[in-house]
Amino acid sequence: NGRAHLGHIAGPLLKMDVLRRHLERAGAEVRMISMSDAHEAHVLIKAHVEGT
């Protein structure tokens, strides 16, 4: 996955925050629950494609 870059936090965290803000502005009551995983699906797919 290379050196640390904005995508490392933007992937899992920024998407969740943007959606939360949108829903709140639309009047929804939002509870944000965060969990941790070793990686996102795209990492697993890339590893499978590369045979690693």
DSSP at 32: -
What pTM, to 2 d.p., does this model score?
Answer: 0.50
Q: Specify the number of domains making up the chain.
A: 1
Q: Which structural domain range is residue 45 located in?
A: 6-50
Using DSSP's 3-state secondary structure scheme, residue 34 falls into coil
Domain assignment present for residue 41? The answer is yes
Q: What average pLDDT does the segment 37-47 reach?
A: 75
Q: Indicate the residue type of 38.
A: A
Q: What is the pLDDT of residues 16-33, one digit of tens each?
A: 888 999 999 999 999 988
Domain assignment present for residue 1? The answer is no
Domain assignment present for residue 21? The answer is yes
Nearest to 12, CA basis, from 38, 46, 49: 38
Domain assignment present for residue 28? The answer is yes
